[in-house]
Amino acid sequence: MNNITLLASNLSKTYGEGESAVEVLQQINLELRAGEKLAIVGSSGSGKSTLLHLLGGLDVATQGEVTLAGQVLGRMSPSQLNEIRNHHLGFIYQFHHLLAEFSALDNVAMPLRIRGTSPGMARDAAREMLSKVGLSHRIDHRPAALSGGERQRVAVARALVTKPSCVLADEPTGNLDAETADAVFDLMLQVAKDQGTAFVIVTHDPLRAARCDRILRLDHGVLRSA
């Protein structure tokens, strides 16, 4: 277990009850090792986002359990869940979800401030991470003043600034044009490699999936090797 960052065991998710019940995920078993980049592919509605929500402790499984950094998420209180997510997980979504009223610097510093890091140290770490993603010259700009690619780079920096064990990325380049998407994907993998961060990347793009260490396909709630 020492090398396993994230583990899903017999994970199932059903919405509704009785005749109206819909089983979205069926007996998912998954191991993610330290520094591994795993792509999950599948058609729209196959349950990919639901799986990420369960892996990140954002939703509760009907059956089975998720273990992150050796701790079972389903046995934790809400405050314990928030703490383990803050220390061990990063999230990147298709839409950047930056806070409009804050600069790029303060958006990236936010997870560290939530952790209790001093303002100065949090901003220093955020400044360093924004430099790594090529945005040193944009740190004082708010999201509205940034391009789509720049906003997503800020989102990548925010996910990685805490040096998490694992990042869960849900179509992280889905809203970008092809050239910008390639650049952001390259950047995401390089920074993750530098930090030894494991990645679970949900993507519909087979070329980007092929650049990961391993590909799994989710088909009608069943996870298989691609």
Flag whether 179 is in a domain.
Answer: yes
Flag whether 21 is in a domain.
Answer: no
Residues 93-151: tens digit of each pLDDT: 877 788 999 999 999 999 999 888 999 999 999 999 999 888 899 999 999 999 888 89
Residue 142 one-letter amino acid: R
Q: How many domains does the chain have?
A: 1
pLDDT of residue 186: 85
Length of the chain equals 226
Residues 164-193: tens digit of each pLDDT: 989 999 888 777 778 878 887 888 788 778
Cβ atoms < 10 Å from Cβ of 11: 22
Do residues 172 and 37 make contact, with C-beta atoms less than 8 angstroms apart?
no
CATH at residue 200: 3.40.50.300
Flag whether 195 is in a domain.
Answer: yes
pLDDT of residue 2: 59
Question: Can you give the C-alpha Rg of the chain in angstroms?
Answer: 17
pLDDT of residue 112: 93
Flag whether 171 is in a domain.
Answer: yes
The model's confidence at residue 38, banded by pLDDT at 50, 70 and 90, is very high
Identify the DSSP state of 204: S
Flag whether 11 is in a domain.
Answer: no
Tokens of 34: 């330290």
Flag whether 22 is in a domain.
Answer: no
Structural domain of 181 = 33-61+75-225
Cβ atoms < 10 Å from Cβ of 72: 12
Flag whether 6 is in a domain.
Answer: no
Mean pLDDT, all residues of the chain: 87
